[in-house]
Amino acid sequence: MLKGLVTALHVIMCLAVIAVVLLQSGKSAGLSGSIAGGAETFFGKKKGLDELLGKITVVVGILFAVTSVILGLQVFWK
């Protein structure tokens, strides 16, 4: 019962990570992109949807990692 619940939650988190990462806007590549990106973050211009998606990505990623560890530790529970 518990294994099925954790597995279902793991699949949902997997799909959520994929969806959230794909929804994020791309970042500029190269040295000039990293300098401009740092300036935007420093001066507080990063607002809105990208910031929200970044926070959601962190939360969903942590939940995905936790369910991965739980499923991995089930080998020792037998």
pTM of the model: 0.70
**CB within 8 Å of 61: residues ≥ 6 apart:** 17
User: What residue spans define the domains of the chain?
Assistant: 2-73
φ and ψ of 47, to 5 deg: -130, 170
Alpha-carbon span 41 to 32, nearest angstrom: 14
Task: Quick: pLDDT tens for 6-37.
Answer: 999 999 999 999 999 999 887 655 455 555 55
State what percent of residues in the chain have pLDDT above 90.
51
Work out the mean pLDDT of the chain and round it to a whole number: 81
Per-residue pLDDT reduced to its tens digit, 35-45? 555 555 555 55
